[in-house]
Copies of this chain bind each other. A is one copy, B any other.
């Protein structure tokens, strides 16, 4: 058995980002940039007014002065003339400051009548002018490669005049549930069987992590079926299996996939839930074999699949985000396996997060996992803790997981 951290490092080290593709700007939201975005324009493109008012020469615009209004400069319609002594131009937010003007007289500090404007408050040079390039200049690097694009980034790339962006392809993840005893929802349930939840839960998790899931037909526990389904997944960036990773079955997967070119890296991790886990490669395709138990499969997915998706997507990849919290109850000492206690999270009156594990932590209880707000992390051999002690928690629910 290897440690959870070593397992994740070996998984991440074996993965490389998907190749780049070019997408129309709106489709790039949530993707990771494969090339940086350099601005193609300067913003603002010229000195512009920050307010509605009058473009003036500050030297003229002293309290009590009266200026001749010679034109108008709304946004998008520059005034083409020059402002001379004693003159002003009506201007609106975003309007280009006309040549000759060096300040803006706010409209609330002005009184307009019959083609003239009276200055009610002396104006300082440069006031209420946004300088050309205040936001960014042509050629400036605005968004680095490796950044996952937010809605704000999409806006920034638009403002920088990019109709297309070069991003990493969404990783295509094949998902193969194995087992004689499972049926898809709504299909006849075999005698002694249960409804399969892993494939579609993992597909949703792959979508949440920015991947593109391909749910393969359920494979019974049969070498040929496993090999055939695995072959179908060779077009994928990664194959995720569930089931078939426990003692004995591990041999089955190996014997089935060995002739197909399967090489095993490791297959057991000192963690709970989730000890049996396979990591290897089927020809060029990385294979992550998750446990068949739905809770184990999802906890392993949070620890390994979500970081793997981040790496494949081209973004920064590492452990799932954990936050400090206080234990809501006393916690028993842990054994040698890294444990994940399904817990409710609440905010105490002092603002601190309080994590309280559900009383029953049986790894078969999917309902408990679905209702959990987070996973309390208990490292191997962690000592017993009193209620109120500091713990680390992976918040679930973030990112739709």
Q: Which residues of B contact A293 (CB under 8 A)?
A: 93
Contact A298 to B191, CB < 8 A, known contacts A75-B179, A130-B362: no
Q: Which residues of B contact A154 (CB under 8 A)?
A: 200-201, 203-204
* Cα distance A292–B370 in the bound complex, in angstroms: 42
- Interface-located stretch among A155-163, A259-267, A328-336, A381-389: A155-163
Those of A117-137 within 8 Å (CB) of chain B: 130, 134-136
Q: Which residues of B contact A130 (CB under 8 A)?
A: 362, 364
Q: Which residues of B contact A149 (CB under 8 A)?
A: 204
* Interface presence of A94 (CB below 8 A): yes
Closest Cβ–Cβ distance, residue A240 to chain B (whole Å): 13
* Interface presence of A43 (CB below 8 A): yes
Q: Which residues of B contact A198 (CB under 8 A)?
A: 155
Would you call B181 and A77 a contact (CB within 8 A)? yes
Copies in the assembly, this chain: 2
- Tell which of B50, B158, B185 touches A25, judged by Cβ atoms closer than 8 Å: B185
- Tell which of B136, B367, B400 touches A136, judged by Cβ atoms closer than 8 Å: B367
- Tell which of B152, B190, B367, B397 touches A396, judged by Cβ atoms closer than 8 Å: B152
* Interface presence of A41 (CB below 8 A): yes
Which of A135, A193, A370, A396: most chain B CB closer than 10 A? A370
Would you call B26 and A152 a contact (CB within 8 A)? no
Q: Which residues of B contact A277 (CB under 8 A)?
A: none
Those of A72-104 within 8 Å (CB) of chain B: 74-78, 92-96
- Tell which of B155, B367, B368 touches A200, judged by Cβ atoms closer than 8 Å: B155
* Interface presence of A186 (CB below 8 A): yes
Task: Show 8 A/B contacts (Cβ-Cβ < 8 Å), sorted by A.
Answer: A26-B215, A75-B180, A150-B204, A154-B203, A155-B204, A157-B185, A158-B185, A161-B189
* Cα distance A189–B186 in the bound complex, in angstroms: 55
Would you call B185 and A161 a contact (CB within 8 A)? yes
The closest CB in chain B to the CB of A324 belongs to: B351
Contact A200 to B396, CB < 8 A, known contacts A182-B76, A370-B143: no
Closest 6 CB pairs of A and B: A76-B181, A155-B201, A163-B186, A151-B204, A151-B205, A29-B204
Would you call B159 and A94 a contact (CB within 8 A)? no
* Interface presence of A313 (CB below 8 A): no
- Tell which of B26, B163, B200 touches A26, judged by Cβ atoms closer than 8 Å: B200
* Interface presence of A359 (CB below 8 A): no
Contact A365 to B134, CB < 8 A, known contacts A154-B201, A158-B200: yes
Would you call B150 and A401 a contact (CB within 8 A)? yes
Closest Cβ–Cβ distance, residue A159 to chain B (whole Å): 4
Contact A158 to B197, CB < 8 A, known contacts A134-B362, A208-B151: yes
Would you call A370 and B153 a contact (CB within 8 A)? yes
Would you call A367 and B401 a contact (CB within 8 A)? no
Would you call B366 and A74 a contact (CB within 8 A)? no
Q: Which residues of B contact A199 (CB under 8 A)?
A: 158
Report A151-179 CB contacts with B as 1/0, cut-off 8 Å.
11111111111111000000000000001
Contact A29 to B94, CB < 8 A, known contacts A155-B200, A180-B74: no
* Interface presence of A115 (CB below 8 A): no
Closest Cβ–Cβ distance, residue A187 to chain B (whole Å): 8
Which of A96, A142, A152, A400: most chain B CB closer than 10 A? A152
* Cα distance A208–B150 in the bound complex, in angstroms: 9
The closest CB in chain B to the CB of A158 belongs to: B197
Closest Cβ–Cβ distance, residue A313 to chain B (whole Å): 13
Those of A18-64 within 8 Å (CB) of chain B: 25-26, 29-30, 41, 43-46, 50, 52
